[in-house]
Amino acid sequence: MTTTDQSSGLPGGAATEVERARERVAEALLRSRARSTLLTDAVDDDDLVRQHSKLMSPLVWDLAHIGNQEELWLVRDVGGREPVRSDIDELYDAFQHSRASRTELPLLSPTEARTYVAQVRDKVFDVLDRVPLHGSRLVDGGFAFGMIVQHEQQHDETMLATHQLRVGAPVLHAPDPDPALVAPIGAREVFVPAGEFTMGTSTEPWALDNERPAFQTHVDAFYIDTVPVSNGDYLAFIDAGGYDDPRWWSEVGWAYRQKAKLTAPRFWQRDGDRWLRTRFSVVEPVPVDEPVVHVCFHEAAAYAKWAGKRLPTEPEWEKAARHDPATGRSRRYPWGDEDPGVEHANLGQRHLRPAPVGSYPKGASPLGVRQLIGDVWEWLDSDFQPYPGFAAFPYREYSEVFFGGDYKMLRGGSFGTDSAAVRGTFRNWDHPIRRQIFSGFRCARDARPAS
């Protein structure tokens, strides 16, 4: 006999699941807000309203935009409540105003923005207490809440990138990754046999529309690097004249390298015979054992060609990350189905830098590929396209309007990404010239049968 939960009308087991989803939502909402608060309280009001780069919004825009999206989806749509402020929707619509133009808008002041996001959040916790987390696709498993949590976390990563572009005294501090979590990697490459695997997901409750549905796809045999390309590896490319040799660059990549006068990853500067980098306002020697970060797609592809390799495709990356040859199934994460722990991956702005290559052996995939999740987003040689059976949800502007555009895929999240905003199926995309994001890469190559 099934016990039925009187308030939800669900069988007991399902009711427990719903309560777990509610707890997961509450915990993730609090974690996101703690991070948003830290990133915006770290600087004074002048800094909050300033544009630190044409590529970025002023931090105060991100903050109120986080609140506005939360209000639109959770207070008004899911909660059916009256607007907290209906007069500011247009100001905080990312499609209405370019980042470069946002300082010219009559934005909420830092004090008003803080008050606004707090008012919205109060109502959201009330909605969360009352609304059933089942019965429609928008709320099943807490989806709309999960979407908004991920949205806030994505802006937290964007705000972290704004901090990286900001000029001034250091204001963010965090411990370095634990050197005890580095373990020898053995082989530099991992062989992934040919065959089908399950890509995407139909079951992950907070997966976004572009990760759905799950489907079978064939991938030819290939080799993939065990760890991301390090600064030391990348320095060898620079020292070999890689930036001056058009042989390694695509036509478009070379044109951009010329136009933008690229000579090294962003935030690097030469100092005599060594390289320094600026990291959240601290100038320091480039650490050779860390994954390279702040390179664009074109730089990543040029390095790979110089190294006699190429960038992985998106199916290759996901197969290397999720496919378990022993069971034939795809895992949620490289290490299994459990949520990321501190032993698995460098996520959540716990550290303000990638961990050395070879870190997190417990986060390795079944085939032994490391650091696929966390540390640096990895550029892939694939464009942003829908999976077979894609259906836009809950709105076209989340993914669909970006398909087929001038974007390359990025996978795996960075040290700046929260665990709620990345998983084995999570897809990110950006323009191939972007460098202010926490982007690195690893290489792959075809595995041709011995002749």
Q: How far apart are CA 4 and CA 59, in angstroms?
A: 47
Q: How far apart are CA 68 and CA 31, in angstroms?
A: 18
Tell me: is residue 101 an annotated ligand-binding position.
Answer: yes
Tell me: is residue 434 an annotated ligand-binding position.
Answer: yes
Tell me: is residue 102 an annotated ligand-binding position.
Answer: yes
Helix axes 143-165, 12-41, angle to 10 degrees: 20
Closest CA to 234 of 447, 443, 445: 443
Tell me: is residue 65 an annotated ligand-binding position.
Answer: yes
Tell me: is residue 332 an annotated ligand-binding position.
Answer: no
User: Which region holds residue 78: left if phi is over 0, alpha if psi is between -120 and 50, else beta?
Assistant: alpha
Q: How far apart are CA 32 and CA 150, in angstroms?
A: 8
Strands 377-383 and 408-411: antiparallel
Tell me: is residue 134 an annotated ligand-binding position.
Answer: no
Cβ–Cβ < 8 Å for 50, 40 = no
- For 60, 155, 352, the CA distances from 170, given in Å and listed in that order, are 19, 20, 12
Tell me: is residue 161 an annotated ligand-binding position.
Answer: no
Tokens of 141: 């498993």
Tell me: is residue 351 an annotated ligand-binding position.
Answer: no
Closest CA to 447 of 356, 366, 367: 367
Q: Which residues are documented as binding site for gamma-L-glutamyl-L-cysteine?
A: 99-102, 430, 434
Q: Which residues are documented as binding site for Fe cation?
A: 65, 151, 155
Q: Which residues are documented as binding site?
A: 65, 99-102, 151, 155, 430, 434
